[in-house]
Structure 1
């Protein structure tokens, strides 16, 4: 119930309570992304867009607000796994140097398009990346990973999102609201920023309503982007094991 989250927010008054929003699969402007950015602007939420560089329309840089940031969402979000394997773009199905070369190219594209708003942060498509690729990330300038669920990073900071409101296993609408509010209540008790994961192209009206309500309820809290707290991290992982599309 929403009341449990309201009580948790009251109990956390006086603490440095921070939230951040990561929206995946951004490529170009459009009505749905415009809606997300308008929602963020109305509530003072700076968005972090996980951008697919191979599909990027450079016009996206013109609509991203100055306080917004972008992260590298793979190269093309193309699945290279076999037909009976879990989807992966950055898995062991290709040589790690080939994958890293693509990621380096993607990082360069984001830097050229977004300038300082492009973070050295990788969001692996489908939340999966091989250890061999992870080991090579510092060599191409990637400083941290952001996924959802469990991910191995070999000492690299991990900024995992905590809450995904979409029910991917069932009807792809809103997850059970009582469970979402209860999970949020637990997360705000932990002394670290709470990450919200969104996929603007997949939102139902119920998901939009949930985000609007959540942002409104936390208007007195600080909504930040990962570059504001990345320097304080050495290892920063969510314990969530829930599956999510990315």
Structure 2
């Protein structure tokens, strides 16, 4: 039922002349894998742009070579080394203030430089914090480091010092199976997010982690692309379009 609810929502958008701008962010890439190739094949099959959040400290030249001929793929900065610096009493966080603001900002500058150097015109100045967490005190410094936008998980807040381009549907069940979540639940969440839209264009970001995808995760992605790729209300867009949108 939830899949039909999502389709009904898209149909309502189309009837009203509204557009859903879709984008996909895949986290934790460092090197070519069979799972990453499977995800990239979906991009090519459906002519859908995707964003790969690569870990700068560990990203390999082989990954850059894999992506060089794939113009639909953008590469964002996934922190520095995806290391937790928070104590056991707190949620995991690389980009907190546990090491001091200066140390974190230095790593973020280095991360952007390395991703740009490694991936060239595939790189985008988008920061994707590991675990989707970053200390608020750091946000105002991101533009001076060269970042144009920030991507975490959840609804975009207004009046932030840096543009937010968030994801809204996470396909992985991190607290349970650590595989794909049930398709009906994912479609219900997508419908709920789109139901809040009251403008001519609403963004819907899908969050994936190719390294932990199981059959349920791949089944959802196959179905989601098949449903949205040709729908008149849907437009798969590169993240750069969302980063620079007013």
Report the TM-score, using the length of structure 2 for normalisation: 0.89
Which residue of structure 1 lines up, in the alignment, with residue 118 of structure 2? 113
Count of aligned residue pairs for this structure pair: 233
Task: Pick which of 27-36 and 176-185 moved more.
Answer: 176-185
Residue 23 of structure 1: aligned partner? 26
> What's the counterpart of residue 157 of structure 1?
163
C-alpha distance in structure 1 between counterparts of 2:6 and 2:155, whole Å: 25
The residue number in structure 2 matching 1:231 is: 244
Unpaired segments ≥5 residues, structure 1: 234-246
**Counterparts of 1:155 and 1:140 in 2: how far apart (Å)?**
13
After alignment, is 70-79 or 53-62 more displaced? Answer: 53-62
Query: Deviation of residue 100 (structure 1)?
Result: 0.9
Displacement of 1:150 in angstroms is 6.6
Residues 106/160 of structure 1: CA separation in 2 closer, same or farther (3 Å cut): same
Structure 1: 4+ residue segments shifted above 6 A:
150-153
Q: Within 2, Cα distance between the matches of 1:131 and 1:184?
A: 27
RMSD, aligned α-carbons: 1.7
Call closer, same or farther: CA 1:202–1:216 in 2, change over 3 Å.
same
Who is 1:50 aligned against?
53
Aligned to 1:200: 210
Any gaps of 5 or more consecutive residues in structure 2? none
What residue in structure 2 maps to residue 3 of structure 1? 4
TM-score by length of 1: 0.89
Q: Deviation per CA, 1:175-211: give whole Å up to 9, x if none.
A: 2322221222233342322100000011110110001
Partner of 1:242: none
In the TM superposition, residue 8 of structure 1 has moved relative to its aligned partner by: 1.4
Deviation at 1:99, TM superposition (A): 0.8
Tell me, yes or no, if structure 1 residue 78 matches structure 2 residue 83.
yes
Query: 8 Å contact 2:181–2:216 — kept in the other structure?
Result: no
